[in-house]
């Protein structure tokens, strides 16, 4: 019943597994693993050194740390929602001395996150080796872990890798030390620190405490729970006292602001199977093998409630098996429906324990097919995680020219209503910022719902501060206080475009592409509109220079040509250049109906070139056959070309 790690290095099991594989194949495998590892390090280098944000909200943590470096409290109510932080504080304190010495850049912050990614992989390899897993398979498992942590958000400036490292240690240390009291104390401390980095790592405590209670010792399970609570409660009270809005932002935003979607859950499950199909397959086989000889007796004979030193359940279950079941259950119940995370919970919470249980169980099998099957499954998983899912890692600076242009347009201005994409640079320049990435969620942190209302009072000052902030922004827009407005196009929480247009004129739309932030198939793209106060607009000549600069920065970018075409059409009424940019956009992507409709309209109305208008109206109709305007445009064009029969097919008797 007392399950713990038995330290093994070069064991008979290792020799047995080696004997199942030809030596030449072992060398080939090592070369392949080394090559993939080198590829991942190079990918990681590109991610670390990218000058611009890798994701829309990446300025979030650097801005929090910047305020600490200035001696300010980023959770003060007066600094909200400008600096709303929905993650935690401990990672910023880890970054503090590094940023102080090396300077504040995205690369420095990402390097800190990278160190903890590497440490997570090291911890996993140590776990595998201490379970007696062959070195080759241990390193292959570490490579899968590394590739999984390089996907999407974990390598960005976020507390994920730091929290995960503490979470893994919190599980590994007491397991390694066979649940000694000292190891449980260390584990409890690590979980609390991880919780203050990112809330879901708090799960480490109930996972460990309940496992000890159920499968090792009821007394020790209660001791662990007592130790954990004796550390957690004072820590929560102190943090709540020290940081005014900490739990409103970091905890209650998530309990109050529900963006759940069952379809999103199943979409993630399908994507995880594509990403980690080999791992899931061997985990299912390993899980079956671990329970195939288990014979559960009458349920009453499997429960011990009388002896405190004994477990509650008198049958064995491995710790990674137990945690995996809990993670899957929680993911299906709620976590997987949260649209604010894409594969994050699966890659950070499930992948480590699946690797652990799979490699542990397969190590003990006496069958040659087990070694070959494990090698094949791990190899497949290394490929899928390292190549298709990291295909954009070296293209992360694809949007850099547009980002530089955005920076150049706002750099000299003092007061700019900003998108998070430029928040960090504005802050370092000593300028005021309005949105650092998660400001829009601040309003949801003041309520206390359900059971939470019994232990915590609501915070009406949150709503008051939110309303005061929005009112101030809206008044500043109305009175044209901002030198520029640089916000994402479309409805945004700071300002609706319909209201913005009453006081400001659109200068240019700059599309910022973020290739690494790819959730499904398309890379994230944010179209940032630059707006000038009415009465202070640039001259037409200056606008032409800006448009020319944007085009020259990336002439083959569809969205650059798309927006420049419509800006020439709608802002400058320059039909010649509008056609030039729109035709470029059509060459890049011929399947956008609005482009064909706009081009057809320009040729028809402005140039009276009906033969040029016809193919564009035809294409618009092909793409939107049920659109009355597409049908009418085509009919009138046939009429102007003298083809009345075709015109009547589309216009009837009109």
Range of the domain at 403: 395-537
Q: State mean pLDDT over 495-502.
A: 91
Q: Each residue of 183-205: pLDDT tens digit?
A: 999 999 999 999 999 999 999 99
pLDDT at 338: 86
Percentage of the chain beyond pLDDT 70 is 94
Q: How far apart are the first and last CA of the chain?
A: 87
Q: Which pLDDT belongs to residue 449? A: 87
Q: What is the pLDDT of residue 291?
A: 77
Summarize pLDDT for 245-265 with one digit per residue, the tens: 999 999 999 888 877 789 999
**Tokens matching residue 70:** 């200035």
Residue 434 lies in a domain: yes
Q: b/e map of 322-348 (b: 16 or more CB within 10 Å)?
A: bbbebbbebbeeebbbbeebbbbbbbb
Q: Is the pLDDT of residue 312 over 70?
A: yes
Q: Is residue 314 domain-resident? A: yes
601: in domain:
no
In terms of domains, do 385 and 475 share one? no
- List all residues 6 or more positions away from 236 whose beta carbon is below 8 Å from its beta carbon: 247
The last residue of a domain, from among 487, 515, 537: 537
Highest-scoring range by mean pLDDT, 158-167, 331-340, 439-448: 158-167
Q: Which residue do the tokens 């482009």 mark?
A: 595
pLDDT at 294 over 70: no
pLDDT band at 12 (very low <50, low <70, confident <90, very high): very low
| 494 and 358 together in one domain | no
pLDDT score of 257: 82
428 lies in the same domain as 346: no
Assigned domain for 574 exists: no
pLDDT band of residue 295 (cuts 50, 70, 90) is: low
Does 364 score more than 90 pLDDT?
no
Q: What is the pLDDT of residue 19?
A: 52
Beta bridge partners of 505: 532
* pLDDT band at residue 2 using 50, 70 and 90 as cut-offs: very low
Task: Extract the tokens encoding 64.
Answer: 């929090």
Strand 416-418 and strand 484-488: pairing? parallel
101 contact partners, CB below 8 Å, separation of at least 6: none
pLDDT of residue 366: 64
CA distance 268 to 262: 10
Token pair 């600076």: residue = 397
The reply to whether 366 and 407 lie within a common domain is: no
Is residue 632 domain-resident? no
Report yes or no on 639 lying in a domain: no
* Count of structural domains, the chain: 2
With cut-offs at 50, 70 and 90, classify the pLDDT of residue 293. low
Residue 524 in this model has a pLDDT that exceeds 90: no
State mean pLDDT over 89-96: 98
Q: Could you read off the pLDDT of 575-627 as tens digits, one per residue?
A: 999 999 999 999 999 999 999 999 999 999 999 999 999 999 999 999 999 99
What does the pLDDT look like over 96-155, one tens digit per residue?
A: 999 999 999 999 999 999 999 999 999 999 999 999 999 999 999 999 999 999 998 999
> What is the per-residue pLDDT across 538-582, written as a single tens digit (0 to 9) for each?
999 999 999 999 999 889 999 999 999 999 999 899 999 999 999
Quick one: pLDDT at residue 9?
44
Last residue of one domain, picked from the residues 366, 390, 414: 390
Q: What is the predicted pLDDT for the residue at 654?
A: 64
Looking at the structure, tell me whether residues 384 and 404 fall in a common domain: no
In 180-318, where does DSSP find H-type helix?
181-195, 204-215, 218-242, 246-247, 253-256, 262-275, 277-291
Beta carbons within 10 angstroms of residue 13's beta carbon: 17
State mean pLDDT over 320-333.
Answer: 96
Give mean pLDDT, residues 469-483: 97
Residues 429 and 369 in one domain: no
Tell me which of 594 and 493 has the higher pLDDT: 594
234 and 278: one domain? Answer: yes
Say whether both 419 and 365 belong to one domain.
Answer: no
Report the phi/psi class of residue 280: left, alpha or beta, with left for phi > 0 and alpha for psi in -120 to 50: alpha
- Evaluate whether residue 346 is within a structural domain: yes
What pLDDT score was predicted for residue 1? 44
pLDDT tens, residue by residue, 402-454: 999 999 999 999 999 999 999 999 999 999 999 999 999 999 999 998 888 88
Are 73 and 79 a contacting pair, CB within 8 Å? Answer: yes
Question: Is residue 637 situated within a structural domain?
Answer: no
End of a domain among 537, 555, 578? 537
Which position has the higher pLDDT, 521 or 603?
Answer: 603
User: 366 and 497 share a domain?
Assistant: no
Same domain, 333 and 409: no
Same domain, 371 and 410: no
Q: Categorize the per-residue pLDDT at 362 as very low, low, confident or very high, splitting at 50, 70 and 90.
A: confident
416 and 470 both lie in a single domain: yes
In the prediction, which pLDDT does 300 show?
A: 62
Q: Is the pLDDT of residue 13 over 70?
A: no
């Amino acid at each position: 019943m007392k399950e713990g790690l038995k330290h093994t290095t070069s064991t008979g099991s290792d020799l047995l597994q080696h004997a199942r594989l030809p030596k030449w194949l072992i060398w080939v495998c090592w070369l392949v693993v080394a090559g993939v590892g080198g590829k991942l390090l190079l990918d990681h280098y590109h991610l670390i050194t990218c000058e611009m944000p890798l994701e829309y909200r990446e300025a979030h943590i650097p801005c929090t740390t910047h305020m600490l470096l200035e001696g300010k409290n980023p959770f003060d109510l007066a600094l909200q929602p400008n600096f709303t932080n929905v993650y935690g504080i401990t990672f910023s304190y880890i970054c503090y001395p590094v940023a102080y010495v090396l300077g504040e850049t995205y690369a420095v912050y990402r390097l800190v996150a990278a160190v903890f990614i590497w440490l997570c992989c090291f911890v996993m390899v140590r776990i595998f080796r201490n379970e007696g897993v062959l070195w080759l398979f241990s390193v292959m498992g570490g490579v899968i872990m590394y590739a999984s942590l390089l996907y999407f958000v974990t390598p960005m400036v976020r507390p994920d890798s730091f929290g995960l490292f503490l979470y893994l240690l919190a599980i590994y240390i007491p397991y390694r030390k066979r649940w000694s009291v000292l190891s449980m104390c260390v584990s409890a401390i690590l979980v609390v620190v991880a919780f203050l980095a990112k809330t879901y790592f708090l799960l480490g405590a109930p996972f460990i405490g309940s496992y000890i209670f159920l499968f090792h010792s009821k007394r020790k399970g209660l001791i662990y729970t007592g130790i954990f609570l004796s550390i957690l409660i004072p820590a929560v009270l102190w943090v709540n006292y020290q940081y005014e809005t900490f739990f409103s932002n970091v905890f209650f935003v998530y309990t109050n602001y529900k963006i759940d979607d069952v379809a999103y859950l199943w979409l993630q499950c399908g994507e995880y199977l594509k990403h980690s199909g080999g791992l899931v397959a061997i985990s299912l086989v390993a899980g079956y093998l671990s329970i195939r000889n288990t014979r559960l007796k009458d349920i009453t004979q499997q429960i011990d409630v009388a002896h405190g030193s004994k477990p509650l359940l008198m049958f064995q279950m491995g710790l990674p098996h137990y945690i995996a079941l809990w993670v899957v259950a929680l993911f299906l119940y709620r976590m997987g429906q949260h649209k604010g995370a894409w594969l994050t919970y699966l890659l950070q919470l499930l992948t480590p324990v699946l690797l652990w249980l799979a490699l542990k169980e397969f190590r003990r099998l006496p069958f040659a097919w087990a070694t070959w099957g494990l090698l094949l499954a791990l190899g497949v998983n290394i490929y899928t995680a390292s190549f298709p899912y990291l295909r954009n890692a070296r293209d992360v600076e694809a949007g850099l020219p547009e980002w530089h242009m955005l920076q150049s347009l706002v750099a000299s201005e003092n007061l700019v209503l900003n998108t998070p994409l430029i928040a960090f640079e504005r802050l370092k320049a000593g300028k005021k910022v309005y949105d650092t990435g998660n400001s829009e969620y601040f309003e949801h942190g003041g309520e206390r719902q359900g059971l939470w209302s019994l232990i915590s009072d609501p915070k009406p000052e949150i709503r008051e501060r939110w309303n005061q902030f929005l009112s101030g922004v809206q008044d500043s827009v109305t009175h044209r206080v901002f030198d520029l407005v640089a916000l994402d196009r479309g409805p945004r929480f700071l300002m609706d475009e319909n209201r913005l247009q009453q006081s400001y004129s659109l200068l240019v739309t700059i599309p910022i592409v973020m290739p690494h932030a790819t959730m499904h198939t398309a890379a994230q793209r944010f179209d940032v509109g630059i707006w000038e106060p009415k009465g202070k607009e640039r001259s037409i000549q200056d606008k032409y220079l800006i448009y020319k600069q944007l085009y020259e920065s990336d002439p083959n970018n569809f969205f650059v040509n798309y927006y420049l075409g419509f800006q020439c059409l709608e802002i400058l009424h320059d039909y010649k250049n509008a056609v030039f940019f729109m035709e470029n956009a059509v060459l890049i992507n011929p399947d956008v109906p609005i482009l064909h409709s706009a081009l057809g309209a320009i040729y028809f109305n402005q140039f009276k070139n009906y033969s040029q208008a016809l193919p564009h109206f035809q294409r618009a109709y092909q793409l939107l056959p049920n659109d009355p305007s597409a049908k009418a445009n085509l009919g009138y064009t046939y009429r102007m070309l003298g083809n009345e029969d075709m015109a009547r097919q589309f216009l009837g008797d009109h």
